[in-house]
Amino acid sequence: MREQGNYLRPFGIGCSQGELLSHRGHITWCVEYEKGALCECKVFVCVKDMYTKQERIVMVIREAQTMVKQELAKHHDTMIQFLRDIVAIPSFDSQIGPVGDAIGARMIELGFDEVRRDSMGNILGRIGNGSRILLYDSHIDTVGVADAAQWEWDPFKGKYENGIIYGLGAGDEKCSTPPMIYAMATLKKLGLAANWTLYYFGNMEEWCDGISGNALVEHEGIRPDFVVIGESTNMEIYRGHRGRTEISVTFKGVSCHASAPERGDNALYKAIPFIQGIEQLHQELKNRPDPFLGAGSITVTSINTHSVSLNAVPDECSIYLDRRMHPAETKEVVLNELRVLPNAHLAEIVVPEYAEPSYTGFVFPVEKIFPAWSLAEDHPFVQAGKATFESCYDRPAKTNKWVFSTNATYWMGKSGIPAIGFGPGEEHWAHTTLDQVPAAEVVQCADFYAMLPLFLEGI
């Protein structure tokens, strides 16, 4: 009865009256039959004879797809306008209060079951009360306006030209918020996500990636089963990125008059062999890359000395390191390789903390270590993402990775919660005066966000 020969793996899309399996987005068979009736989820029909009814089943999941697309198409212009509206609300330096208000108001309008802020001031919207949690993560803060003169247009007004929306945060990453919340509202309206609790999580990320999710899990007690990150992925499924850490290294010396330096102990001189060791270490890291994420790296980004005057020997020299890691390069690995460098035994080596209060005054101290992460190509969540993509857009899905770091450094990197990335626009516009996103991709992403929970059923 069950033919399983060609199936890569079952997604087990469940319904109340039987079991459906899908392969690359298409239902292939199920058991149980109730002629003429739709299942409780109103999407998938169970048929007894898979061999003769297969086309009918494919048609039914496509019907769900069609319903979703039709509903979302009614809101295309609104989504684009809403993106332009929230780009116009400044939210740099983690000041996401006003933009969160606007998004919260829209979610209330759209009939979300719950809209509130967490202690840190991130905005949460919930739909459904099912046993499993899928969270849509969109950071709604931006970087600052470094040099206003370099912008060819008002960064908060931007422009909409030839189908491209420009402005600070247009691509990084307010662009994923409208499709996420309209996708969730569509699922509610069509009754397609009865088994899920879905969260939209509009948060701050730019100053400390992952801190918002970390606090959501450990302080608010909300731990999702799956997370989709809305940073730009050029409409591909992203499944990893390198991690990073900041490291402070301090050498102590003894001050004396510069006219007789031999009376003191120059802290800068102690640091020099260590710095040369860093340069050598970077070359060695190139020889042990991760096959997917590439090689780690290390460099000195800052050096400061303390002297009581310019004619005194410095009694302190501190350097700052930027270390990029792949998943095998954990904190211990990173610190141990520093501890064997020349003069390391004379230094204090520390991973500093981020403990800045949020705009609500909430403090959630975290070490400035942001682990690398990746999901295997055959991970069920990646496979579900690919199936969703192929169902939505009728073309093969590609997987890839980010160059920069995202909130997934916490979700998957620290906490092991499966995460994938899917968002409109290209990563390389982030943090530039040409921050931008194609409007067509913004609205197309809504289809993916809406269909993803359906392809995650049974995983």
Residues with catalytic annotation? 141, 205
110/180 with CB nearer Zn ion: 180
| Distance of closest approach, residue 139 Cβ to Zn ion, in angstroms | 5
- Whether the Cβ atoms of residue 63 and residue 192 lie closer than 8 Å to each other: no
427 contacts Zn ion (rule: CB under 5 A): no
Name the residue among 335, 319, 407 with its Cα closest to residue 371. 407
| Distance of closest approach, residue 306 Cβ to Zn ion, in angstroms | 36
Secondary element (H or E) of residue 179: helix 177-190
172 contacts Zn ion (rule: CB under 5 A): yes
d(CA 182, CA 192): 14
Q: Tell me the residue number closest to Zn ion, measured at CB.
A: 172
177/391 with CB nearer Zn ion: 177
Question: Who's near 237: CB < 8 A, 6+ residues apart?
Answer: 382, 385, 386, 389, 397, 398, 399, 400, 420, 421, 422
Radius of gyration of the chain (CA): 26
Residues 315-354 that bind Zn ion (CB under 5 A): none
231/315 with CB nearer Zn ion: 231
| Distance of closest approach, residue 172 Cβ to Zn ion, in angstroms | 4
CA angle 425, 427, 431 (to 5 degrees): 110
457 contacts Zn ion (rule: CB under 5 A): no
- Whether the Cβ atoms of residue 323 and residue 260 lie closer than 8 Å to each other: no
25/424 with CB nearer Zn ion: 424
Q: Which one among 71, 137, 141, 173 touches Zn ion, defined by CB under 5 A?
A: 173
Q: Angle, nearest 10°, between helix axes 97-109 and 76-87?
A: 160
| Distance of closest approach, residue 409 Cβ to Zn ion, in angstroms | 12
Residues 212-231 that bind Zn ion (CB under 5 A): 231
210/253 with CB nearer Zn ion: 210
Binding range to Zn ion, per CB under 5 A, among 168-176, 269-277, 311-319, 395-403: 168-176
DSSP state string for 280-319? HHHHHHTTS-BTTTB--EEEEEEEEEE-SSTTB--SEEEE
Q: Is the dihedral of CA 185, 188, 189, 192 positive or negative?
A: positive
| Distance of closest approach, residue 173 Cβ to Zn ion, in angstroms | 4
Which is it for strands 436-438 and 243-252: parallel, antiparallel or unpaired? unpaired
237/347 with CB nearer Zn ion: 237
| Distance of closest approach, residue 187 Cβ to Zn ion, in angstroms | 25
Binding range to Zn ion, per CB under 5 A, among 48-56, 171-179, 240-248, 414-422: 171-179
d(CA 385, CA 454): 10
Give the three-state DSSP class for 354: strand
Contact footprint for Zn ion (CB under 5 A) = 172-173, 231
